[in-house]
Structure 1
Amino acid sequence: MVSLSAVQASNSRISTTLDPGSVAVFVGATSGIGETSMKQYARYSKAPRIYFVGRSQEAGNRITDELEALNKEGSYLFIKADVSLIKVVDDVCRDIKSKEKAINLLFLSQGSLHFHTETTEGLHTVVSLNFYSRNRFIVNLLPLIQQARGLRRVITIFAGTHEGSIYEDDFQARKVPMMKARGHLVSMITLFLEALAKKAPSVTFIHGYPGAVDGGLLRDPQGVSMYVMKIAWKVISPFITIPNLECGERHVFLATSSKYPAREGGDSGVTLGGGITIARGTDGEVGSGVYSVDQFGENSGPKVAAILSKFREEGMLEEVWNHTEEEFKRITGTVAA
C-alpha cells in the first residue's frame, strides 16, 4: 500500500519537478471524485491548462471560480456536453484539438448506474458512459497525448483490480446480471487499454479503483433496485467511505508519480520516494505501461493476472477492440474523429 503521507509527499514535489504549463483534460469532473481529483491536480501543478467536461453549466461556472481561487496561475475551460453520446464526444474532442497540439493527461471518470436504458445512438447507457465514451475520448485524443513532453498519461477510474468474466455474446451487458456486470465491464476496460498501449507504448495507461467513495452516481436513481441501493448507501457509507479529498490526492499521484512508467521511455513522472517501487503492469511485468490498481495505488494480484492472461490467449483483447471499433463506425462512420 502506498501510504497517504507518501502520496502527499510526492504530490508536493509536482510544481518543482514537472514542467510548468501541463495540459490536462478531465471528463466527468463537475461532481464527485472527478471534481475532487481535478482540483487537487490544479492545486499542485504549476500554471496548468485544464479542460473539464460535464453536463451542468451551473456546476461548471462554480468550479471554474473555485479552480481560479486554488491556483491563479492556471487557466480553466469548461465544456458543457452530454458525453453519453459518441457524436458529442467527437465534437468535444474537435474543440480541444483546435486549441491544443499536445495533452499531458486525460482523466476519465464519467459514469452512470442507469441500467436498462438506451442512448439515442443505440448503446446501453451505463456501458456507453463507462466504456464507449471513455474509449472514444482516448482514441480521439491519443495522437495529442503522444506529442506531449514529460507526462503522457491516460487514467480511467472505474474498478481496476476487480476484473471478471466477460460475456462475449453481450458486450453491452444488456442481459448480464447486475452482480456480474462490474467484472465484465472492468475486464473490457483493461483489455482495451492494453490494446491501446500496443499502439502507443510511450503513454502510460491506468485503470484505477477509487474504493468506497461518495462519487455521486446514486444521486439520480432509476428503478426500485437503484432507489433501495441509494437508501442502503446512506446508512453504511459513513462507516466505509474514503474521504473524497484523499481519493483526489491519490488520483493525482497516479497521474504524476514515476511509479507508473510507460513501457517505452519518455513519461517522466515525479521521482520515487523511499520505499515506493515501480508498479507491476497487467501483463505481470514491472513497468510495462498498463496498470490495474486499487484504491491504494497497488497493482492487481495473481488472480487478476491469470484472468487477463487467459483472455489474451483466447483472443479476447482483439475481440473487444474489434467490437468497439465496429460500434464507433456504426455510430459515426469512423474509428476515430
Structure 2
Amino acid sequence: MPVPYIDDILSQAEGLKEALEEFDPQPLETVCRFIEMGKYDRVILTGMGASFYGAYPAWLKLCGLGLPVILWDTAELLHYALPQVGSRTLLWVISQSGESAEIHRLLERLTAPRPGLLLGVTNNPTSTLARAAEVVLPLHAGNEHMVSTRTYINTIAVTLLAAAALSGESVSAWKEILWQGQAGMEAYLNAWPQHLAALREQAGKLNRLFLLGRGPSLASAQEGALVLKEAAKFPAEGMGAAQFRHGPLEIVEPGIAVWLFGGAQATYELNRGLGLEIQGYGGQVTWLSPTSVEGLPWLSLPAVPEAALPLVEILPVQALSVALAEASAREPGQFRYIGKITDQE
C-alpha cells in the first residue's frame, strides 16, 4: 500500500527541479535597487518549523550583505521583538502554507509602522501571506501530504537564490550549484530501497539521538530532529556541534547516538575531532558526508558543492524516520495531534 510520506520523499528531486526552472529573480530587482540606495537599515527573516530551518543557509549567505541580518522565530518576533520591525526593515516572511497561526498574527500586527517592504516566500500563491506581501516568491513544491519534505527542500533553494540576487551575485551560477544538488538528490533517491534497508538495522538499536552540524549543515541537524519527532515520534535533538561541547558532551556514554554532519570545509576538521572524541567516550557516532573519516562509521552522501549539502544531508534522516516508524509499528509521517497547517499558537 502506498505511504503518502514516502511518496513525498521520493518526489523531492522532481519538486526541486520545478523550483529551479520556475525561479524568477525579476520581482527582486526593485528590492536590490532599494538595498543599493540604503533604504533598509536591517533585514529580518522569520518563519516557523521547517520554514525557519530551511531559511538558515540563506541567512548565512545574507550575512555578507553589509546590513544587520536577523533570523527570528516568528512567535518570538511577534510577542517579544516586534519593535525591531520598523519603516526601514526588509521583512522576509517564510511560510509554506502562508496560513500558520503566527503568520496571521504577525501580519495583523504590522500596522504602525509598516515594514519598508514585506517579502513573502510560500507554497500557496493565494494565501494570506501572499496577499499581504509586496513581493512573493513561490516555492513550486506542489501538493504535499504529510511532514515537510518538498517544501523544505524548495525553501532552501528559493531562499538561497533570492539571497544570491539580493547580494548582487549571479543567480545563474547559484542555480548551477543547486542543479548539482538536485542531481545528487536524484542519485540518492534512486537507491532508496538500499538506503532504507541499511538504516532499518540501525533503527532497531537507537534509543537517544543527537544530530549535530555547523554552518549550513546546522539546518540539517535542526530540521532532521524535527522530522524524526514528527514522522517517527522519536525523541531526537538537533543542535550546533559547538554548542554540544558546552555542556551536552557530559551526557555521552554507551547508548547515546550522534549523527554528525561533516559539512563545509571551514569547520570540517572541528567536526571530525568532535566525532572522534565522542566515540572515545563511548558514544555511537555516525559521520554523514561525501567523504569518510578514518575511525568513524560513515553514511556516504552524494558529492555535491558545499552550498548544496543541506539538500542531500536531510535524505538519510528522512530514511531513518521511515525505519524508526516501521520499527515501532507506526505509519511514517502520519500526524496524531496536529495537521499540515499549525492553526493554533
With the length of structure 2 as denominator, give the TM-score of the two structures: 0.32
Bigger Cα Rg: 2
Identify the structure with the greater helix proportion. Answer: 2
With the length of structure 1 as denominator, give the TM-score of the two structures: 0.33
